[in-house]
Amino acid sequence: MPRVDVSRRVRMAAPVNEPEIARSSANDPRLAWLAAYRAVRAETERRAALLSPEDQVVQSMPDASPTKWHRAHVTWFFEQFLLRPHATDYKVFDERFAYLFNSYYVAAGPRKARPQRGLITRPTTGEVGDYRSHVDAAVCALIETTEDVAKLIPIIEIGLHHEQQHQELLLTDILHAFSHNETHPAYDPQWQWPRPSGEVAAAGAQIAGIHMIGHGGDSFCFDNEQPAHQVVLRPVRLAPSLVTNGEWLEFMADGGYATPTIWLSDGWAAVEAQRWEAPGYWQKLDGVWHAMTLGGLRPIDPAAPVCHVSYYEADAFARWSNKDLPTEGEWEVAAKSGALSDAYGIVWQWTRSAYTSYPGYRAAPGALGEYNGKFMINQLVLRGSSLATPAGHTRPSYRNFFYPTARWQFTGLRLAEYEH
């Protein structure tokens, strides 16, 4: 069964699929899915518990959402897609919440504009907690009493994975908010950077030939991970380790942010417009570089992986290094080979692959079909997972995606080198 970590530290991700463990209980799947549901829901509350009501209402930029909104939105998801269609005696907690806490599901009805979510001071954080309890009781009752739990499993399963995505966003968004506070508040004063586990070959993973990528089999995945298909890879070697802060400091010292010839045109425009001179959340105090972290403002550790860099920065660093960023297919093949010890649980890794559909992809019908497909334009793929990714929410085929200017996520990079 999924475990609930009650420690104060952010959980490291692991390449397993905890909600899916529910499938292993052949005698009574209800018990397994109840345990999975309760564990994931509890993890959201555990992460929010370190925040004050004031913390939970702030929205620091249009791309971020308040913690309170995340807690309510994932609850609305279960109410909208599970309870309303399948629980005949369910009483909606508050009909107004559908407008406030829908995100981008146009087919599900009108919604509050995303940049204005921080204006939702009511309902209070306490009322959102009541909303969560109301929906939790109804979901658990539905699972316990339904005659055909199998028809509910796909909705419960995607709802749990959807909530895990928002658990990660909860941390990335509050860190962005805290970064604007000159007192440098810590989400968790005990927080520490995770370290890679295991050993890999010093030379990294060399791959080539025809390989299958994408998700196969009947275990859970999001629709954008399918269909599985073959790709042809030219000989390439992926670095066994992530690029570090120390290497990034060398890039900066060599004029990396002042050399237009190593930047894409749009990237250089971003450097000039936003006055980038270091990764996101970095600042120099008394001549020493520091970074805002979940543990507050900390001196830069040269050995730690660089984090909070955009695709444009990652691409410029690769050019400066006379190397490349890997494609998402190269990354997935290397990760499946087991040669990347730090593939998961530290930083998401930029690839140079555009976020688009796999050959033969079709979005699901209805509102849930809006989950991934309509975003397949003008974004880049990241692979792996980060220190904020919940345990059980990683796999080699997972496709994260962001716009190339994004820096508030826990994003880093590893390099690729091609044989010539």
Delimit the domains of the chain by residue range.
Answer: 18-178, 205-418
**Residue 324, SS3?**
strand
9 — pLDDT class (breaks 50, 70, 90):
very low
Radius of gyration, CA atoms only, the chain: 22
- The residue among 336, 340, 344 whose CA lies nearest residue 394 is 344
Pairing assessment for the beta strands 288-293 and 296-299 based on DSSP bridges: antiparallel
Distance CA 235, CA 298 (A): 40
Confidence of residue 212 (pLDDT cuts 50, 70, 90): very high
The per-residue pLDDT for 197 is 65
* pLDDT of res. 200: 54
The pLDDT score that the predictor gives to residue 369 is 78
What is the rounded CA–CA span in Å between residue 384 and residue 335? Answer: 8
Task: Give, as one character, the DSSP assignment of residue 396.
Answer: T
d(CA 376, CA 125): 34
Instruction: Pinpoint the alpha helices (H) of 179-310.
Output: 245-253, 265-274
pLDDT at 227 over 60: yes
The total number of residues shown for the chain amounts to 420
Task: Give me 409's structure tokens.
Answer: 């996520």
Query: How many whole angstroms separate alpha carbon 392 and alpha carbon 220?
Result: 11
Mean pLDDT in the chain?
A: 92
Q: What is the pLDDT of residues 39-81, one digit of tens each?
A: 999 999 999 999 999 999 999 999 999 999 999 999 999 999 9
Residue range 96-133, pLDDT digits in tens: 999 999 998 998 999 999 999 999 999 999 999 999 99
Would the pTM count as exceeding 0.85? yes
Per-residue pLDDT reduced to its tens digit, 298-307:
999 999 999 9
Q: What is the pLDDT of residue 203?
A: 67
Which class does domain 205-418 fall in? alpha beta
What CA–CA distance (Å, rounded) separates 5 from 9?
9
pLDDT at 6: 25
Contact 411, 310 (CB under 8 A): yes
